[in-house]
Amino acid sequence: MKEKLLCIAIASLWILPLSGALGENAPGVTATEIKIGQTMPYSGPVSMTGDIGRAGAAYFEMVNDQGGVNGRKITLISLDDGYIPAKTVEATRKLVEQEGVAFLFNSLGGHTNNAVRPYLNANHIPQIFAQYGSIEPEEALKYRWTTNLQVPNDTEGRILTQYVTTAKPNAKIGILYQNDVLGRDLLLGVRQALGDSAAKTIVSAVSYETTDPSVDAQVVELQNAGANVFLDLALGKAFAQSIRKASSLGWRPLYVLFEGSDDPALLKSAAIDHGVGFVVGAPYKDVRDPQWQGDAGMRQYVAWAEKYFPRWKDNPFAVSGYTAAEAMVVVLKQCGTDLSRANIMRQTLNLRSVALPMLLPGITLNTSETDRFPLKQMRLMRFDGTRWVIISGVQG
**Residue 2 pLDDT exceeds 50:** no
Q: Which fold has domain 33-151+295-348?
A: Rossmann fold (3.40.50)
The band of 12, judged by pLDDT with boundaries at 50, 70 and 90, is: very low
Range with top average pLDDT, 178-182, 282-286, 321-325: 321-325
More confident residue, 220 or 142: 220
Give the tens place of pLDDT for each residue, 302-332.
999 999 999 877 687 899 999 999 999 999 9
**Residue 288 pLDDT exceeds 60:** yes
Show me where the domains of the chain are located: 33-151+295-348, 153-282
What pLDDT, on a 0 to 100 scale, did the predictor assign at position 7? Answer: 31
Sheet harboring 33-40: ordered strands across? Answer: 73-80, 33-40, 104-105, 127-130, 146-148
DSSP state, 386? S
What pLDDT, on a 0 to 100 scale, did the predictor assign at position 9? Answer: 27
- Alpha-carbon distance 245 to 162, whole Å? 26
Give domain 153-282's CATH superfamily: Response regulator (3.40.50.2300)
Which of 150-159, 229-238, 257-266 has the weakest average pLDDT? 257-266
More confident residue, 8 or 237: 237
How many CA atoms within 13 Å lie on the side-chain side of 130? 29
Q: Are the beta carbons of 314 and 258 closer than 8 angstroms?
A: no
**Residue 144 pLDDT exceeds 90:** yes
More confident residue, 293 or 85: 85
| pLDDT (mean) for 208-214 | 94
The band of 5, judged by pLDDT with boundaries at 50, 70 and 90, is: very low
**Residue 271 pLDDT exceeds 50:** yes
Q: Are the beta carbons of 125 and 99 closer than 8 angstroms?
A: no
- Alpha-carbon distance 130 to 146, whole Å? 7
What pLDDT, on a 0 to 100 scale, did the predictor assign at position 167? Answer: 95
Strand locations in 41-190 (E): 73-80, 104-105, 127-130, 146-148, 173-178
- Mean pLDDT over the full length of the chain: 91
What pLDDT, on a 0 to 100 scale, did the predictor assign at position 180? Answer: 87
What pLDDT, on a 0 to 100 scale, did the predictor assign at position 311? Answer: 83
What pLDDT, on a 0 to 100 scale, did the predictor assign at position 263? Answer: 85
Give 217-220's long-range contacts (Cβ < 8 A, gap of 24+). 218/176, 218/242, 219/176, 219/245, 219/246, 219/249, 219/251, 220/245, 220/249
What pLDDT, on a 0 to 100 scale, did the predictor assign at position 316? Answer: 79
- Alpha-carbon distance 323 to 51, whole Å? 13
The alpha carbon of 177 is separated from its chain's Cα centroid by a whole number of angstroms, namely 17
| pLDDT (mean) for 249-274 | 93
More confident residue, 14 or 190: 190
Task: Using alpha carbons, select from 312, 325, 256 the residue that is nearest to residue 75.
Answer: 325
Which of 14-23, 41-50, 256-265, 287-296 has the weakest average pLDDT? 14-23
| pLDDT (mean) for 283-295 | 89
Q: Which residues have CB under 8 Å from 354's CB, separation 6+?
A: 327, 330, 364, 365, 366, 374
* H/E element, 138: helix 137-142
Q: Which residues have CB under 8 Å from 111's CB, separation 6+?
A: 85, 180, 181, 182
Give the tens place of pLDDT for each residue, 81-115.
999 999 999 999 999 999 999 999 999 998 899 99
| pLDDT (mean) for 364-380 | 93
Residue 292's CB: how many other CB atoms inside 10 A? 18
Residue 235's CB: how many other CB atoms inside 10 A? 23
DSSP state, 305? H
The band of 264, judged by pLDDT with boundaries at 50, 70 and 90, is: confident
| pLDDT (mean) for 358-387 | 94
- Number of H helices and number of E strands within the chain? 13, 12
* H/E element, 381: strand 379-383
**33-151+295-348 and 153-282, same CATH topology:** yes
What pLDDT, on a 0 to 100 scale, did the predictor assign at position 138? Answer: 66
Q: What are phi and psi of 304, to 5 degrees?
A: -65, -50
| pLDDT (mean) for 8-17 | 30
